[in-house]
Chain A
Amino acid sequence: MNLIELKDIAYYHRQGLQKSWVLRKINLDVQAGEFVTIMGPSGAGKTTLLNIIGLLDSPMGGTYTFLGEGLEKLKEKQRQAMHKEHMGFVFQAYHLIDELTVYENIETPLIYRGIKGKERKSMVANILDRFNIVAKKDLFPSQLSGGQQQLVGVARAVITKPKVLLADEPTGNLHSKQGDQIMQLFQELNEEGVTIIQVTHSEKNAQYGSRLIELEDGFIRKDESIKPMSSHA
């Protein structure tokens, strides 16, 4: 069974009487465990597609089936619940909460999921340990480098063990060495079974994935499997 099935997905902005199309007839299936990279020129609709997949936005047309369930029929509350349960997000600008420490940033999604304090503590401790940022746990985002902030961003996204990790230009604000580090982390997570869909401009980042999709003018121009670059290269 496909994890994600998109059929004829369409999305547009209204500008007065005119529709300005962002996505037209997108058909896309994603299997569990894939590492998909979406590329394309600016304005091609990459981020919109990612938001639709992540249930942050709704398409104007087409159907979206997630884990065999048609999402059009769901109410807003249920969509939010699906989002909460299965999706993790990583942003180009990290989007950490400035007033919270590293520890608290990572802990917050657990709070919203009603996880008890003790369990929360051990989950956060594990992930801090795994991402090698234990020493930074009491710092605020502004005290970290970009790479470190994104590391926290990824940690926050995966701590709830999402099925799908959605990343919108996760290395766009980082220099190449930090970027490589994040991409290697993605590869590791993917090997552990997390489905990853990333949007990027970087050819190099695309090499980490197992599938490459190119968007242009709202259509899928190219959809091909690639042999992932070894993470230990």
Chain B
Amino acid sequence: MIKHYFKIAIRNLWRYKSHTALNMSGLVVSLTCSLLIFMWVQDEYSINRFANSDEQIYQVFRSFPNEKGEIMTRWACPFPVSDALMAEYPEISAATSYREVGDQSFVKDDQTHIFQGTMAHFSLFEVFGFELLEGSTLEADKKLKGIYISASFAERFFGADWQGRVLGESLNTEGQHLEVLGVFADVPTNATLAFDFVTNIRDFAERNPRWSRWGSSAFATYVKLAPKAGAEQLAPKIKDLVARNGGADNLSLLMQDFSDTYLYGNFKDGQVAGGRITYVRIFFFAALFLVLMACINFINLTTAHASRRAAEVGIRKVIGANRSSLLGQFLLEVGIVCALSLGLALMLTHQLLPYANDLLAKSLSLDLMDGTFWSLLAGISLIVLLLAGVYPSLMLSSFSIVNVLKNRLSNRLSSANLRRALVVVQFVLSGLLMTSAVIVQQQISYIKNKDLGFDREQVIQLELPAEISEHSDRFKAQLLASPYLESVSGVLQAPIGVGRATDDLEWPGKDPESDIRIHFLTADKDFDDVFKIRMAAGVFHQKDSASQDLEELVINQAAAAVMNLEEPVGTRVSMNDQAMVIVGIMEDFHTNSFHEDIKPLMIFNEPHNAEEFAIRYQADQTQAAVAHIKSTYAAFNVEDPMQYRFLDDHYNHMYQSELLIGKLANFFATIALFISCLGLLGLVSFLAKQKTKEIGIRKVLGASVGNIVALLSQDFLRLVMIAFVIATPLTIYFMQAWLDDFAFHIDLSWSTFLWVGLGAVLFAFLTVSFQSVRAAMANPVNSLRNE
């Protein structure tokens, strides 16, 4: 019996090739997309959920009210927090401060190896349960010049047979000699922590006392709770830890389960308020939508073609088939189509994976041995089979013999109303996706084009190695010798993603109770030339070096506003006993992403505290500029390779997730429109076939091609318009919520909806007329003769 069904299913699919092709291409496209997205979602969920992370690992955050009284939550905590947590609370079994140091070069036998690293307390390994292959952490914290390296570090640096001969070795890096204390198994790739070596954070703290006090926050903090300790009971106890130790009074600590830190990274009012999970959810549902849309196509096309199969159903019933065997037959047919589509989708997924990885910045792979992957596949297949298979099969198998044989299969059976409703659902979904995609693009283009208050074009950021820092004046002079380079400024960091802030600044009339935090940068006097910032009052830094007695200070308008000074320029202020004078007020410029308001900012004049150079070069001279910088750099005999990036790229990097959303939204919208139009095409060609005779008669009676096209199209176009009317408020609801997450955003405009709506109607019309024009052009004699 099965063999029999199988045979007839294949023959039927083959016979109605175009129908099958329409059905399958929709399914294959949507299955491929949703497979890719589901893989992405699965990957996102796996991040920070590695083997040991289900144990009680927590990250500590600090919360504080900002100028407006909103509670801000940041990952950066004061350095002493981890030690204090460890000392005061028996519930905490291990704690570490953590700060990634980026790429660092290690020299061996005149060969330079670059590794990415971090500094931390060596209890790091205990907190995260990272396995030590060699060495131990016992008493290790006291060895300030100690280093732990990963297995792959050891292998690359010492060779494949590193075992047993690396402990106690001395590593030469950036002018320091560090002793290898241990080798750890590579950090899992699905962790947000990424490092190949760990240096002692206490060493850094001793060398940088300004960073390591209770008053400054610059370190991530992770703790591991004792087996029976409850995070909920502990949370209220650690809240005021900083205040009790002489830090800011309004600063409180909170904890978040480490495995949640990646997806739930946003805080509001000191509570977790979503984060990346929103996008993961959105795209999970978008992928489900695509599957749903393909299923709708499947239902529509199958029920529309039901009349073709009706005769067969009638005959089979006459010769003895009962309903369940017919049901089985049709379900098997759907099953075959699903299986074929799934197979094709898998192949397509395999082919597209490299591009998807590129787009999503992931390294997903199709692992056919993975059980989760197969259960995912089974789940999708089951959904498709249920959605697309059951209804049409029930309907087909329900035809009554007499009606079929008497050719009394009326339109009633073609369930036209259901199809209409499903077409509306489809276009609501694609309308929602399309309008959202356009709005996301508008916001992205707003981000890219809005005047930030500084010029981010034609600026190169160059990291300064120790060898150059010592001679930064000479280096700067040699750079400026090139006609391609316009100006150079040594800065602590570029004004992108500024997070350093202090509440130590004192000014006349400051409310002693207030804890106003002011963000800060350090720069030299050429900062304003490089970044082309505008002064609202006074001047930018003038002096070549920080003067001991009276340092220059420049603030922005936002800072001037919170400081509430009558005549800011010339006002004397102080910080940590250093006297300063405000020499100028800058017009506000964006130092952080558009998600955040412009914050009070001050710039210290500290030319010799530069960690990087910002270099402005002439337009269209990028290559010449980079070449000159490289040769100058080489002349200083630096061991490390030169590391630089373009400010513009750096800026765009800040909007990584928005750019990703933008790309994905475009992609989804296109696929959704494609699938919807595919379904429309199938329905119209069915309608044209069904109405062949009517069209013929109308033409004989004098109807024009236009009349006929209208006859076939208007119903569908009306559905598309209804769909847009429904989609619009939904889109407004979702996209307003998305936009509200930005402190600076575009306003939703009616014209967007109008244009996208018109576009969709136009697309639908083109699709429909593709078929209807052909039907309308046919010679009526032919269609009437067929009868």
List residues of A whose CB falls within 8 A of some B CB. Answer: 47, 51, 56-57, 80, 83-84, 89, 91, 95-100, 104, 108-109, 111-113, 156-157, 160
Contact = CB atoms under 8 A, between A and B. Distances in A.
Contact of A111 (B1, B318, B402): B1
A108 B405 contact: no
A153 B158 CA distance: 84
Contacts of A80: 322
B320 A95 contact: no
A83 B319 CA distance: 9
Interface stretch (B6-14, B52-60, B252-260, B673-681): B6-14
A104 B402 contact: no
Contacts of A97: 8, 312, 315-316
Contacts of B4: 104, 108, 111
B165 interface: no
Contacts, number: 51
22 contacts: A56-B318, A57-B402, A80-B322, A84-B320, A89-B318, A91-B405, A95-B314, A95-B405, A96-B315, A98-B15, A99-B11, A99-B15, A99-B312, A100-B11, A104-B4, A108-B319, A111-B1, A112-B319, A112-B320, A112-B325, A113-B320, A156-B319
Nearest to A84: B320
B311 A95 contact: yes
Contact of B320 (A91, A104, A109): A109
Nearest to A89: B318
A56 B316 contact: no
Looking at B311, B405, B406, the one whose CB has the most chain A CB atoms below 10 A away is B405
Interface string B301-344: 00000000001101110111110010000000000000000000
B7 to A, nearest CB: 7
Contacts of A100: 8, 11
Contacts of B322: 80, 112
B320 A56 contact: no
5 tightest CB-CB pairs across the interface, nearest first?
Answer: A112-B320, A99-B11, A109-B319, A84-B320, A95-B315
A57 B403 CA distance: 10
Contacts of B318: 56, 89, 95
Nearest to A107: B4
B761 to A, nearest CB: 39
A116 to B, nearest CB: 11
Contact of B401 (A56, A113, A157): A56
A89 B402 CA distance: 13
Nearest to A77: B322
Interface string B1-35: 10010011001100100000000000000000000
Given A108-B4, A112-B325, A99 B320 contact: no
A104 B316 CA distance: 12
B8 A99 contact: yes
Nearest to A110: B320
Contact of A104 (B1, B7, B311): B7
Contacts of B1: 111
Nearest to B312: A97
A30 to B, nearest CB: 20
B679 to A, nearest CB: 25
A58 to B, nearest CB: 10
Nearest to A108: B319
A101 to B, nearest CB: 9
A97 B402 CA distance: 17
Contacts of A160: 320
A212 B311 CA distance: 31
A156 B315 CA distance: 11
B328 to A, nearest CB: 12
Contacts of B321: 112
B154 to A, nearest CB: 67
Contacts of A112: 316, 319-322, 325
B622 to A, nearest CB: 66
Nearest to A99: B11
Interface in B149-196: none
Looking at A83, A97, A98, A99, the one whose CB has the most chain B CB atoms below 10 A away is A99
Contacts of B12: 99
A113 B320 CA distance: 7
Contacts of A96: 315
A46 to B, nearest CB: 13
A157 B315 CA distance: 11
A80 B402 CA distance: 13
A122 B406 CA distance: 34
A84 B319 CA distance: 7
Given A89-B318, A95-B405, A108-B4, 9 more contacts: A56-B405, A84-B320, A89-B319, A95-B311, A95-B318, A99-B11, A99-B312, A111-B1, A112-B319
A112 B319 CA distance: 8
A100 B11 CA distance: 8
Contacts of B401: 56
A10 to B, nearest CB: 17
Given A100-B8, A104-B4, A111-B1, A51 B320 contact: no
B617 to A, nearest CB: 72
A101 B8 CA distance: 10
B671 to A, nearest CB: 33
Contacts of A89: 318-319
A85 B4 CA distance: 21
A108 B402 contact: no
Contacts of B320: 83-84, 109, 112-113, 160
A138 B516 CA distance: 91
Looking at B8, B320, B322, the one whose CB has the most chain A CB atoms below 10 A away is B320
A57 B401 CA distance: 9
B402 A51 contact: yes
Interface in B245-277: none
A227 to B, nearest CB: 32
A217 B15 CA distance: 43
Nearest to B406: A47
Interface string B478-509: 00000000000000000000000000000000
B317 to A, nearest CB: 8
A175 to B, nearest CB: 21
Contacts of A57: 402
Looking at B15, B318, B319, B405, the one whose CB has the most chain A CB atoms below 10 A away is B319
A124 to B, nearest CB: 13
A224 to B, nearest CB: 29
A22 B748 CA distance: 66
A51 B402 CA distance: 8
B771 to A, nearest CB: 24
A161 to B, nearest CB: 13
Given A91-B405, A95-B311, A99-B8, A108 B15 contact: no
B634 to A, nearest CB: 76
A75 to B, nearest CB: 13
A104 B7 CA distance: 10
A56 B402 contact: yes
A137 B322 CA distance: 26
A15 to B, nearest CB: 14
Contacts of B8: 97, 99-100
A47 B11 CA distance: 32
Interface string B395-426: 00000011001100000000000000000000
A168 to B, nearest CB: 9
A113 B8 CA distance: 18
A203 to B, nearest CB: 25
A123 to B, nearest CB: 14
A14 B4 CA distance: 40
Nearest to A80: B322
A96 B4 CA distance: 16
Contacts of B405: 56, 91, 95
